[in-house]
Structure 1
Amino acid sequence: MEIAQVTQEVYTASKRLEKAANELYKLGEAKASSEQVYRVKLAQEMLKLKTEGMAVGMISDVSKGNVGDYLFKRDYDEVRFKAALESVDAIKSQLSALQSILRYQSDF
């Protein structure tokens, strides 16, 4: 692999890392937003069930079941965020390897 080619790949990887960081920010924002919505809906549902006279021991489980769509969205956004973090780590590893190759080739 020639130095020019490695340099181009380093540049490409750094651009991918920049784009991934921007996407990670958006995914983090979506994750936080869905967490907030879920918690609010859960609290509202728990209060509703309590005022309807449901047994206290059952309120938590029934509430979670009743707002299951929000729980799913929260969990889905969290998984997407974690996957994006893994992707960023993979790009970092690739960039590090390319930089090592570049250093090695520059020494000779």
Structure 2
Amino acid sequence: MSGQDLVNELSGKVSLLDSALKQLGVRGREYAQAEQDYRIALAQKILTERDKGTPVTIISDICRGDREIAKKKFERDCKETGYKAALEAINVYKIQIKTLESTIEREWRG
């Protein structure tokens, strides 16, 4: 690989890192929104069960087993996974960039 090829590859990785950082922001907001939606729905369901006289000892299990609440938790968990995947992509791009920088440095020193 020529020095110019290495520089071009480095530039591509930096672009990917920039995109991943933007994606992290988007996914972070989506994750936070999904967490908020889940917690609000769960709190409302708990209040409904308390009003119905459901024993406090089983309210948590009943509420978390509710289809709508479970769906919101699933959506939250999927958003969390997407957020963590974006974080991991950022780390991978950083390592690739450092490796390319070292290779370019070695090439230049000759």
| TM-score bracket for this pair, using the shorter chain length | over 0.9
Match of 1:27 in 2: 27
Return the match for 1:105 from 93, 107, 110.
107
Deviation at 1:65, TM superposition (A): 1.2
Q: Distance in 1 between matches of 2:22 and 2:101?
A: 23
Match of 2:3 in 1: 3
Q: For 1:38-60, what per-residue CA distance to the aligned partner results, in whole angstroms no more than 9, with x for missing partners? A: 00000000000000000100001
| Structure 2 letter corresponding to 1:64 | R
After TM superposition, where is structure 1 displaced by more than 3 Å over at least 4 residues in a row? none
Q: Distance in 1 between matches of 2:56 and 2:108?
A: 70
Structure 2: 5+ residue runs without aligned partners? none
Question: How many pairs align?
Answer: 108
| Structure 1 letter corresponding to 2:44 | Q
User: Percent of aligned positions with the same letter in both sequences?
Assistant: 31
SS in 2 for 1:54: coil
Q: Distance in 2 between matches of 1:86 and 1:12?
A: 18
Deviation at 1:84, TM superposition (A): 1.2
Match of 1:64 in 2: 64
Q: Distance in 1 between matches of 2:13 and 2:31?
A: 26
Deviation at 1:75, TM superposition (A): 0.6
Q: Distance in 2 between matches of 1:65 and 1:93?
A: 42
Q: Distance in 1 between matches of 2:79 and 2:61?
A: 22
Deviation at 1:91, TM superposition (A): 1.0
Q: Distance in 2 between matches of 1:19 and 1:84?
A: 10
Deviation at 1:88, TM superposition (A): 1.2
The normalised TM-score by structure 2 is 0.96
Q: For 1:14-62, what per-residue CA distance to the aligned partner results, in whole angstroms no more than 9, with x for missing partners? A: 0010011001110000000000000000000000000000010000111
The normalised TM-score by structure 1 is 0.97
Q: Distance in 2 between matches of 1:60 and 1:4?
A: 61
